A and B are shown apart, each in its own frame.
Chain A
Amino acid sequence: MAEPLIELRGVTKRFPGMKALDGVDFRIEPAEILCLAGENGSGKSTLIKIVSGVYDFDEGTLLIDGVPVSGFSPRAAIAAGIQVIYQDFSLFPSLTVAENLAMGRLLSEGRRFIAPAECRRLGAEALARLDVTIDLDARVGELSTADRQIVAIARALMSETRLLIMDEPTTALTGREVDRLFALVREIQAKGIAVLFVSHKMREMLEISDRICVFRNGRKVEEGPTADFTEARITRAMTGQDLGHERYVWTGDAAAEPRLRVEGLSVGDAVRDVSLELRAGEIVGLSGLLGSGRTELALALFGMEPDHRGAIFLDGRALALTSVPEAVEAGIAYVPEDRLSEGLFMSQSIARNVVASAIDRATRGPFLSDEAVTTLAERTVDDMRIATTDVDKQVGKLSGGNQQRVIIGRWLLTGPRVLILNGPTVGVDVGSKAEIHRRIRDLAVTDGLAVLMISDDVPELLHNCNRILLMHRGAIVDDLDPRGLEEDDIHTRLKTLR
């Protein structure tokens, strides 16, 4: 048998106060697609950084083609044919596609001058290798995320690449784009290049990889051919426990006045004549391809699309939602898709983030009371099981799952009657995800909160919703009862909408 492309033997990496990797044996074979699974903090990122030469390690050996290597550096990793595509792609939006592609080569040749014709030639070669066409003269900033990713891949494959590491490459892609990416990954594999794939999405891991390697708390806990794995087994390996998979059942009164009633809502061309009802305690899923109008619908319900037409009723009372304060006042809460840019104040403390939407509950007279802020924050931390002991900690230092809990917790303080969640667990690891789901279900059952859950994650919808709405081109085209439905039913339905 041939030597593994890269092998780690008993590698340990310590950081102050913790072992990020603990005696890990790990290998990547030539031309295989290997998936790395694990929760945040499980050691995945550390492993990637060791393999790409960014981190040194404390114990163990690293072998390339069976030969032990010492003093492995990023430069040495590139020389060995290891390329990493980071989540942000590291591209330059104001340079052209051709320049972005050619830059690395020209730099490594120590060039001083740059000729557009040569850039275009190098760029065209790189794209031709992947058999894709993208306008070489377009600025990268004008491309879609999927095209940017392809440029990043093409750039990574310009040198003699033997291993391509992709860190959560599907996070920002739509379903069709993921399919295209996977086709590309298989082509790359066919050229004899190994791919190390990091993803949070089980379905994707099972679909694309040859082998799966699961990490937990800095140790490799499972490893094997993908055929041996199921979602449940990966989850168990990642979290060390079985997560409940019983579906949500709504037992409310279907004849009661709906909590939220929307009639003939239109927002420009994005949402067309949508009517829907949400009853107390219901968790209603909303899915559809990107651009289906689902986000615009949510924004309209949150007062962010003042030019909408149609009527919105809360508990039978008509609302004129033309601004966010009006929506909040009425009892509508919205957790946005992108918590980094829309939801959280990253450099501020947990406490300040938590009270941001409910400032009037933390005042004494006209002033903000530190004591009240701390009390509210501590209660939220407790309630949402946010993993910290210090409410003054910066939100930016929490994991994605905990950040998401901070946002949800914040909105719960406003005492909402309708909670709209847009991608509630995007980029959140399995354990946190289960925790967030549990909390949302609790709220629906005990407080009678009506929840609208927008998501691309089909298992998440099936598991948590008592109804699932599908949107297409601005209209609701399906109102599904998840009982008796399987994941594939919904995927098939979504595919026919394309």
Chain B
Amino acid sequence: MNHLAKLMRRSETAVFLIVLAIMIVIGLINPAFWQADNLFNLLRANVIIGIMALSVLIVMVSGGIDVSFPAFAAAAMYLTVLAMNAYGHEGVLLPFIGATLIGLLCGLANAFFIHTFRMIPLIVTLGSASVVRGLLLGLVGTSIVNIDRMPPALIAFGRSSLEIGGAKLSVMVFVYLGLAVLVWLLLTRTMTGRSIFAYGDDAESAKRVGFNTRRTVYVAYGLAGALAGFAGLLHASMIWLANPRDFVGYELDVIAAVVLGGASIFGGRGSVLGTLLGVFLLVLIKNSLIIMRIDNTWQGVVIGCVIVVATALTAWRDRKTLA
């Protein structure tokens, strides 16, 4: 009984129930929804937003916010694809390591400014996003690498799938879930992960207890950047296209997903499971809007409302627990 009550209080449970309800409703309207093909496609659509959401989750738990990840993802993706073409590289391991490292460096730059000058994360990441995008387009190029010029190895990797019950499930879904497990282990089972929570709760106290808070900030933003870089290249390999102007507007979707999953924008609160559910809910909403032929512009309205409502609910919950 007590366990059940505890379970019901968790925001993950609420999100899960909402997801379930929406799925049942859509299934009633269109039974084709429950076909494996459709469900697997839905999962595939979770991958990129999901990995980026993990990146944002880490930063949000630390009490910060990151709006630079789309720019970092675009830079990591575009630079890596250009480099692969320039050297005729045929593997994928090295390119993914490269993209991750590019993201990592960008993230560490964020951490440097945020920690050294005690700057507000929103301002720093807005700035770094703008700088990275500007440099990418100004110095590197603006032309899209189309499918005919994409490295074949990358395309092949992005296409790899498993056949389950006659439908194809993208292997990328497992890559995403694998990363989610790693981030979960990091956040809950390592001192570094717990230090991110502690730092998000109260940076001063974290210092007093003996955490190396400088390291915490660098780990949080560095990791966030690395995940973004990785997600960037993975995206290119999944859509067979590398566009340096890609990922514009992803900030909103991803942050919405993380907030939906119960993370607090004030730090200290958030879970990997919640984030996975939040991402799934967001993708589900967007997909159903497409199925219902609702115009693209209106999708923005819906997502915006979802963010405001979800944040209002968490704020209301936090106020209730305080009182």
Q: How many residues on B have C-beta within 8 angstroms of the other chain's C-beta atoms?
A: 22
Q: Is the CB of B209 within 8 A of A103?
A: yes
Contact of B189 among A92, A107, A115, A142 (CB under 8 A): A115
Q: Is the CB of B191 within 8 A of A99?
A: no
State whether A92 and B190 are in contact (beta carbons under 8 Å apart), knowing that A103-B198, A108-B210, A142-B321 are contacts in the complex. no
Contact of A94 among B189, B200, B208 (CB under 8 A): B200
Contact of B194 among A95, A108, A141 (CB under 8 A): A95
Q: Is the CB of B211 within 8 A of A90?
A: no
State whether A90 and B202 are in contact (beta carbons under 8 Å apart), knowing that A95-B197, A107-B209 are contacts in the complex. yes
Contact of B202 among A92, A103, A106, A112 (CB under 8 A): A92
**Residue A91 at the chain B interface, CB threshold 8 Å:** yes
- Smallest Cβ-Cβ distance to B269: which chain A residue: A94
Q: Is the CB of B191 within 8 A of A107?
A: yes
Interface residues of B in 183-198 (CB under 8 A from A): 188-194, 197-198
How many A-B contacts are there with CB distance less than 8 Å? 56
A90 to B201, CA, bound (A): 10
Q: Give the distance to chain B from A406, nearest Cβ to Cβ, in Å.
A: 26
Range of interface residues on A (Cβ < 8 Å): 20 to 34
State whether A90 and B209 are in contact (beta carbons under 8 Å apart), knowing that A103-B194, A115-B189 are contacts in the complex. yes
Q: Give the distance to chain B from A342, nearest Cβ to Cβ, in Å.
A: 14
**Residue A498 at the chain B interface, CB threshold 8 Å:** no
Q: Give the distance to chain A from B241, nearest Cβ to Cβ, in Å.
A: 40
A106 to B189, CA, bound (A): 12
State whether A95 and B198 are in contact (beta carbons under 8 Å apart), knowing that A103-B209, A107-B210 are contacts in the complex. yes
Q: Is the CB of B189 within 8 A of A91?
A: no
- Residues of chain A with a CB closer than 8 A to B193's CB: 114
- Residues of chain B with a CB closer than 8 A to A92's CB: 197-198, 201-202, 205-206, 268
- Residues of chain A with a CB closer than 8 A to B188's CB: 114
State whether A107 and B192 are in contact (beta carbons under 8 Å apart), knowing that A92-B198, A94-B268, A95-B198 are contacts in the complex. no
Q: Is the CB of A95 within 8 A of B201?
A: yes
- Residues of chain A with a CB closer than 8 A to B202's CB: 88, 90, 92-93
- Smallest Cβ-Cβ distance to A78: which chain B residue: B210
- B residues in contact (CB < 8 Å) with A: 188-194, 197-198, 200-202, 204-206, 208-211, 268-269, 321
Q: A92-B205, A113-B190, A114-B193 are in contact. List 8 more A-B contacts (CB 8 A).
A: A92-B202, A92-B268, A94-B197, A95-B201, A99-B194, A111-B191, A113-B191, A141-B321
Query: A-B pairs with the 3 shortest C-beta distances?
Result: A94-B268, A90-B205, A92-B201
Could you give 27 example pairs across A and B, Cβ below 8 Å?
A88-B202, A88-B205, A90-B202, A90-B204, A90-B205, A90-B208, A92-B201, A92-B205, A92-B206, A93-B201, A93-B202, A94-B197, A94-B201, A95-B194, A99-B194, A103-B209, A104-B209, A106-B191, A107-B209, A107-B211, A108-B210, A112-B192, A113-B189, A113-B190, A114-B191, A114-B193, A141-B321
